Amino acid sequence: KAGVTQTPRYLIKTRGQQVTLSCSPISGHRSVSWYQQTPGQGLQFLFEYFSETQRNKGNFPGRFSGRQFSNSRSEMNVSTLELGDSALYLCASSLERGGEKLFFGSGTQLSVL
């Protein structure tokens, strides 16, 4: 069974631009979560989607948004990039509801110059 796939693996953007990251969950998994990992703040929860609906959201500004498609694939978008948005963005999937074992992708390393 293929694992969680995140694309692209690396991204370099400049301040003010926007970026879209993609996540394909494990086949059959319906819940997708996104996390931001930085050296200073560690891992922080961004949001969770289930059946195309955002179920939970972390404490991030409105520049961070996401969506989930009918095939459970998910995208997250960051608009008006800031230097502080440089981070490893990790996607995780689980079968159904929260509280289950999470399977993480390898992440997208975003650098904002």
Partner 1 sequence: KQEVTQIPAALSVPEGENLVLNCSFTDSAIYNLQWFRQDPGKGLTSLLLIQSSQREQTSGRLNASLDKSSGRSTLYIAASQPGDSATYLCAVSDMETSGSRLTFGEGTQLTVNP
Q: Report how far apart the first and last C-alpha atoms of the chain are (Å, whole number).
A: 37
Q: Which of 81, 57, 71 is nearest to 25 (CA)?
A: 71
Is position 7 an interface residue for partner 1 (rule: CB under 8 A)?
no
Binding-site string for partner 1 from residue 66 to residue 95, where x marks contact by CB under 8 A and - marks none: ------------------------x-x---
Interface stretch with partner 1, choices 14-22, 53-61, 65-73, 74-82 (CB under 8 A): 53-61
Q: Among residues 14 and 38, whose Cβ is nearest to partner 1?
A: 38
Residue type, 11: L
Q: Which of 109, 108, 112, 111 is nearest to 24 (CA)?
A: 108
Q: Are 47 and 34 in contact (CB under 8 A)?
A: yes
Q: In the complex, which residues of this chain contact partner 1 (CB under 8 A)?
A: 4, 6, 31, 33, 35, 42-45, 48, 55-56, 58, 90, 92, 97-107, 109
